[in-house]
Amino acid sequence: MGSRMGTRYQYIEWDENSLWKNEIKHGVTAEEIEQCFNNPPFVIFPHKTYKDRRVLLGRTLGGRYLFIVYQHKSDEIARPIHAREMKKNEKGIYEKQTR
């Protein structure tokens, strides 16, 4: 279903509205989102609806399992749109893919 990504994005481009919404609604900080992008292993797969978006399943340095939707702007730039705790089935996918 997903694939591990060997390369990392060079830049994270922030949308202030999404950033605040993630923190207020889901308790996920910008720092935690960046940690997931920079803390392998992580799983990335295409978004079901939007061609320019991807889903990243990853862990923070503190051990939180996060589900992150982001816009793939280029091979170097990711723009996070939505972040929340993984659901049980998503965590299962992450664990299976990162063994």
Closest by Cα among 5, 6, 12 to 78 = 12
Q: What is the pLDDT of residues 14-73, one digit of tens each?
A: 988 888 888 899 999 999 999 999 989 999 999 999 999 999 999 999 999 999 999 999
For domain 8-86, is the CATH number 3.40.50.2020? Answer: no
Domain boundaries, the chain: 8-86
3-state secondary structure of 81: strand
3-state secondary structure of 9: coil
Say whether pLDDT at 82 is over 90: yes
Burial annotation 64-92 (CB, 10 A radius, 16+ → b, else e)? bbbbbbbbbeeeeebbbbbbeebeeebee
The reply to whether the predicted model has a pTM over 0.85 is yes
